[in-house]
Amino acid sequence: MTSGLGPAIGVAAAYLAVLSAPVVAPYDPTAQHREHPLAPPTGIHVVDREGRVHLRPFVLANGADGAARAYPVRFFTRASGDVEAPSSVRLFAVDPPAAIFLFGTDTLGRDQFSRLLYGGRISLGAGLLAAACALTIGVLCGCVAGFFGGWVDTAIMGASDIFMALPWLYLLLAIRAALPLTVDPGRALLAIVLVIGIAGWARPARLVRGVVSSVRSRDFVAAAAAAGASPARVLRSHVAPEAFSVALTQASILIPQYTLAEITLSFFGIGIGEPTPSWGTMIGAMLRQELSVAHWWLAAPAAALVGVSLLYHATADALHRRALTMGVTR
């Protein structure tokens, strides 16, 4: 556990799952099963009414005659039913009129499980990339500001004040209103990453800058500089390790936060548009519905986000610990 391998594998598994969405997801994430709006998760049975145990799990559904019938779950099968392009093999499926909704459906009868997988592609990607973008800029600026001080520091910190003070959501809303109406999902994703990254660098920059400026003034660093070590060398060997830990903590906080930031963006039509799912739009839709225990399955994306965040956190923790141990032995 302390090796950090477990959580890292968990993170990798989450990414693998969303990347293999076309196979794992039983339905097209945009398909509306209008006869099943807000359906609870489908019950999967192995024991039938007579008490016999079946090796192949089955679901119950009312057939054309209105009587309940058992429909076996088929594995590694061609998709059927609502999916209009049955090109790929699905991990599992049932024959219509039965339906298998592992995590229930949303207001429009779309399969939450399939949407969770497809949406994860966008959300996990966007959160990670945006955090990377913000941290890269932030650590760079923070190091430069803290290390050089003086007017460079004043300029960068002034800029960071502005970036932190700007009401980003409001500005984006205003800018969005003036832009062309339709943007394809790919570009929208890129825009989200860039916007969050550019809006978010200031906070890590401030934290890093505080650490760096204190490191710089320590005796041994000052001595190294006096001994003729180039600024780049001092930065690399003395300052960067200290900044690394701050950046790592920031990363484990920013990734889930930025995945959530996408909710707000989607909510105001700046994110990925309908019908493409993302965890942000799904959580946003959940929050716009009445919040009630009666539709608990709508919280699946929030639960997924918490799970993934915990994995990230554990991974970051393990990395942090390794860095510390290395620092001691150095």
Partner 1 sequence: MRRWALAFAFAVTAVAAGSAAGIRAVVVQSPGTADPMIVDGDVGRSGGALVIAARTEPKTFNPIVALDAPSRDVIWRMHADLIHINRETQRTEPALARSWTVSGDGLHYVLHLRRGVRFSDGHPFDADDVVFSFAAYLDERVHSPQRDLLLIDGRPIAVRKIDSETIGVDLPAPYAGAERLFDSVAMLPRHRLEAVWKAGALGDAWGISTPADDLVGLGPFRLERFRPGEEIALARNPDYWKQDRAHNRLPYLTRLTFAVVPSEEAQVIRLRAGELDVLNRVSSQHATTLDRDQANGPYELRDLGPGLEYHFLFFNQNDPAPAAVRAKQAWFADERFRRAISLAIDRASLVGLAYRGRATPIWGHVTPGNRLWANTAIAHPPPSRPAALALLRDAGFKQNSAGTLTDAHGNAVSFSILVAAGNAALTDMAAIIQEDLRRLGVSVQIAALDFNAVLARVLESHDYEACLLRLVDGDVDPNPEMNVWLSSGPTHLWRPAQTTPATAWEAEIDRLMRQQMTTLDAGARKRLYDRVQTIVAEKLPLVPLVSPNIIVAAKRGLGNFRPAVLDHYTLWNAEQLFWRATEARR
Partner 2 sequence: MSARSAALRSLFIRHVVRAGAVLVVVSWLVFAATALAPGDAFGEARLERTLSPDAIAALRHAEGLDRPLLVRYARWLQSAAHGDFGRSIAYRAPIAPLVAQRAVNSLLLVAAALIVTWTIVLPLGVWTAARDRSTDGRIVAAGATALIAVPDLLIAIVLVLVAARSGVLPTGGLRAAGGADAAGFAAIADRIRHSFLPVLALTLIAAPPLVRHVRASLLDALASPYVLAAAARGIPYRRRLWRSALRAAANPLVSLFGLSFAALFSASMMVEVVMSWPGLGPLLLDAVRTRDEQVILAGVVLATALLLVGNSCADLLLRSIDPRISA
For position 171 contacting partner 2 by CB under 8 A, the verdict is yes
Among 268, 302, 310, 320, the residue binding partner 1 under the rule CB under 8 A is 268
CA 27/CA 32 separation, integer angstroms: 10
For position 246 contacting partner 2 by CB under 8 A, the verdict is yes
- Quick one: 111 or 242, whose CB is closer to partner 2? 242
Q: Which residues contact 289 (CB under 8 A, 6 or more apart)?
A: 107, 295, 298
Q: Which does 83 bind (CB under 5 to 8 A by kind): partner 1, partner 2, none?
A: none
For position 87 contacting partner 1 by CB under 8 A, the verdict is no
For position 11 contacting partner 2 by CB under 8 A, the verdict is no
Residue 87 phi, psi dihedral angles, 5° rounding:
-85, -35
Stretch that binds partner 1, among 88-96, 223-231, 262-270, 308-316 (CB under 8 A): 262-270
CA 173/CA 167 separation, integer angstroms: 10
Q: How far is the CB of 199 from partner 2 (least distance, A)?
A: 13
Name the residue among 157, 252, 234, 170 with its Cα closest to residue 201.
Answer: 157
- Quick one: 89 or 222, whose CB is closer to partner 2? 222
Q: Which of residues 308-327 bind partner 1 (CB under 8 A)?
A: none
For position 276 contacting partner 2 by CB under 8 A, the verdict is no
For position 180 contacting partner 2 by CB under 8 A, the verdict is no
* Secondary structure letter of residue 325 according to DSSP: H
| Count of other CB atoms within 10 angstroms of residue 81 | 18
Among 46, 47, 91, 177, the residue binding partner 1 under the rule CB under 8 A is 177
Stretch that binds partner 2, among 47-55, 88-96, 158-166, 182-190 (CB under 8 A): 158-166
Q: Which does 245 bind (CB under 5 to 8 A by kind): partner 2, partner 1, none?
A: partner 2
Q: For the packed helices 112-148 and 279-288, what is the interaxial angle rounded to 10 degrees?
A: 110
DSSP H helical ranges for 179-274: 185-200, 202-216, 219-226, 231-234, 240-267
If you search the block for the tokens 């790929």, which residue do you land on?
Answer: 88
- Quick one: 130 or 286, whose CB is closer to partner 1? 286
- 174-183 as b/e, with b when 16 or more CB fall inside 10 Å? eeeeeeeeeb
CA 3/CA 25 separation, integer angstroms: 32
For position 267 contacting partner 1 by CB under 8 A, the verdict is yes
DSSP H helical ranges for the chain: 5-19, 21-24, 112-148, 150-165, 168-178, 185-200, 202-216, 219-226, 231-234, 240-267, 279-288, 300-329
The mark string for 299-318 relative to partner 2 (x by CB under 8 A, - otherwise) is ---x--xx-xxx--xx--x-
Contacts with partner 1 by CB under 8 A: the residue count is 25
CA 175/CA 178 separation, integer angstroms: 5
CA 39/CA 107 separation, integer angstroms: 9
Q: Which does 166 bind (CB under 5 to 8 A by kind): partner 1, partner 2, none?
A: partner 2
Q: How far is the CB of 85 from partner 1 (least distance, A)?
A: 10
Name the residue among 205, 210, 213, 204 with its Cα closest to residue 251.
Answer: 204
For position 20 contacting partner 2 by CB under 8 A, the verdict is no
Among 62, 80, 214, 237, the residue binding partner 2 under the rule CB under 8 A is 214
- Interacting residues with partner 2 (CB under 8 A): 149, 154, 157-158, 161-162, 164-167, 170-171, 173-175, 177-178, 203, 206-207, 209-211, 213-214, 217-218, 242, 245-246, 248-249, 252-253, 256-257, 259-260, 263, 283, 287, 291, 302, 305-306, 308-310, 313-314, 317, 320-321, 324, 327-328
